[in-house]
Chains A and B, each alone.
Chain A
Amino acid sequence: KAGVTQTPRYLIKTRGQQVTLSCSPISGHRSVSWYQQTPGQGLQFLFEYFSETQRNKGNFPGRFSGRQFSNSRSEMNVSTLELGDSALYLCASSPILAGVPGELFFGEGSRLTVL
């Protein structure tokens, strides 16, 4: 069974640019969530999508946005990049939304460096 796939794995951008990251969840998983990991702040929740709708959102500025497509694939976008946006961006998929919590399956992440 294929795992969660994130692309690109590595990318370098400059301040002010924008970036789009992609996540393909495990087949059959309809919930996709995104996390930012930095050495200083650790792993922080960005947002969660289910059935093309954003269901939860973390405490990040509006420059961070996302969407989910009908095939459950998700993208996140960061506009007007700042140096502090340099981080590992992790995507996780899950087969269920409500009720008893299940397992999150994480991808290997997209490492963004902002110069």
Chain B
Amino acid sequence: DAKTTQPNSMESNEEEPVHLPCNHSTISGTDYIHWYRQLPSQGPEYVIHGLTSNVNNRMASLAIAEDRKSSTLILHRATLRDAAVYYCILGVSGSARQLTFGSGTQLTVLP
């Protein structure tokens, strides 16, 4: 299975943008890039996903490198509620429902 590499932890100040990086050098051509986050004592929550083009939704933006070997999740204005573990995941080709989670990035938002 293709693996992802993320920093163990990052810090951000409240109301500033946050760029969470993810490396996935062994990604296959049909693997989607998914991002989920997990707040304390909750199940993971979907954030965004993409294949090749950059994606935007109400929660975040996903910037995908041209060679698809890395991607960046962008939170435009971090709030205290964004403090969570963020997982970058490659979906098994053809199925989004078998996701291999890595260790994720613990995001701390400072007031």
Contact = CB atoms under 8 A, between A and B. Distances in A.
Interface of A: 4, 31, 33, 35, 42-45, 48, 55-56, 58, 90, 92, 94, 97-98, 101-109
Contacts of A105: 46
Given A43-B101, A101-B49, A92 B43 contact: yes
Question: Interface SS of chain B: helix, strand, loop or mixed?
Answer: loop
Interface in B66-111: 87, 91-92, 94-104
A94 B96 CA distance: 9
A106 B101 contact: no
Interface residues of B, number: 24
Contacts of A102: 96
A45 B99 contact: yes
28 contacts: A33-B98, A42-B101, A42-B102, A42-B104, A43-B44, A43-B101, A44-B101, A45-B98, A48-B95, A48-B98, A56-B92, A56-B97, A56-B98, A90-B44, A94-B96, A94-B97, A101-B32, A101-B49, A101-B91, A101-B96, A101-B97, A103-B96, A104-B44, A104-B99, A106-B42, A106-B44, A107-B43, A108-B41
B45 interface: yes
Contact of A98 (B43, B94, B102): B94
A44 B103 CA distance: 11
Q: Which of B49, B92, B96, B102 has the most CB of A within 10 A?
A: B96
Interface of B: 32, 34, 36, 41-46, 49, 87, 91-92, 94-104
Most buried by A among B95, B99, B100: B95
Given A33-B97, A92-B43, A43 B87 contact: yes
Contacts of B36: 104
Nearest to A45: B98
Contacts of B49: 101, 103
A104 B103 CA distance: 18
B46 A104 contact: yes
Nearest to A44: B101
